[in-house]
Structure 1
Amino acid sequence: MASTSLDTARSYFQAIQNGDLDTVGNLLHDDVVWHQPGDNQFSGERNGRDAVFAMLGGMMEASQGTFTIDTVHALMTNGDLVAATIHFAGRRDDAAMAMDGVDVLRIEAGKIVEVWLFSGDPAAEDAFWG
């Protein structure tokens, strides 16, 4: 189970970094639950792949297409959970952010069924997203 979860997570992050939204969509369960941290326009729980893609599209629009996970430092697994230490960044005309974070994915049968995100500097991320 661990290698399957790890392989799924690795494929997910590679697809995110390459902008391969078809693969991302195929790896997300139809009923995925996404927990976005903070106190900004994107914070809160999203239920379902369509709601997650709508949020991610909003993030790309707000960041003028620059939001990215530029580094995946490590992937660690425990059963159906995979924790990823990452670095993410974004910029727009009048603001920029760059910080470390942790993404935790719960994976079942090769599909991501739940996601929890953690930001290294929640106040800076909230200020960036507004």
Structure 2
Amino acid sequence: MSDHAERYGIGKAFHTALAAADWDGIRSLLHDDAVWVLPGDNTISGAAVGADAVVERARKIAGYGLRFELLNILVSRENMALSLHNTARRDDVVLDEYLSTVCTLRDGRIASIETYLSDVDGMNAFFV
């Protein structure tokens, strides 16, 4: 398997596990010291430090009923990113955002995740 195919596969596995609420699947892709940083000022913002905290953040996000539409998996020389369109509705509040989740890889697993959003204000209003 080529290096880029391995990075692509990790991205695909992460998205598949997230969409299926497969928390053990997500955990298996992470280093124990993984960190996930999200912008904004809401219940999911900031840094989730450690693999268990990263899985808990994914569980919390999914708990809001999001649809995680995968637009692209992008690979660099050493890392990968997911391009997503996330949507959800909670009462009168609608989430409709585009994002890139950039994953730094180490030894074939995710060491860190940083998410870039198209609508931080919309995210703040949704995740209360």
Could you tell me the TM-score, scaled by structure 1's length?
0.86
The residue number in structure 1 matching 2:43 is 41
The residue number in structure 1 matching 2:112 is 114
Moved more, 48-57 or 71-80: 48-57
The residue number in structure 1 matching 2:32 is 30
Count residues with an aligned counterpart: 126
Kept in 2, the 8 Å contact 1:5–1:108? The answer is: no
The residue number in structure 1 matching 2:67 is 68
Q: In the aligned structure 1, how far is the partner of 2:30 from the partner of 2:67?
A: 18
Q: In the aligned structure 1, how far is the partner of 2:56 from the partner of 2:24?
A: 14
Q: In the aligned structure 2, how far is the partner of 1:5 from the partner of 1:52?
A: 19
The residue number in structure 2 matching 1:82 is 80
Instruction: State the one-letter code of the partner of 1:89.
Output: T
The residue number in structure 1 matching 2:52 is 50
Output one character per residue of 1:44-64: Cα deviation in whole Å (capped at 9) or x when no partner.
111101112232333344x2x
Distance verdict in 2 for CA 1:126–1:19, change over 3 Å? same
Could you tell me the TM-score, scaled by structure 2's length?
0.87
Percent identity (aligned): 25
Q: In the aligned structure 1, how far is the partner of 2:113 from the partner of 2:5?
A: 18
What 5-or-longer segments of structure 2 have no aligned partner?
none
Distance verdict in 2 for CA 1:5–1:60, change over 3 Å? closer
Distance verdict in 2 for CA 1:60–1:72, change over 3 Å? closer
Confirm whether residue 17 of structure 1 aligns to residue 27 of structure 2. Answer: no
Instruction: State the one-letter code of the partner of 1:38.
Output: G
Kept in 1, the 8 Å contact 2:21–2:59? The answer is: no
Distance verdict in 2 for CA 1:53–1:124, change over 3 Å? same
Kept in 2, the 8 Å contact 1:82–1:104? The answer is: yes
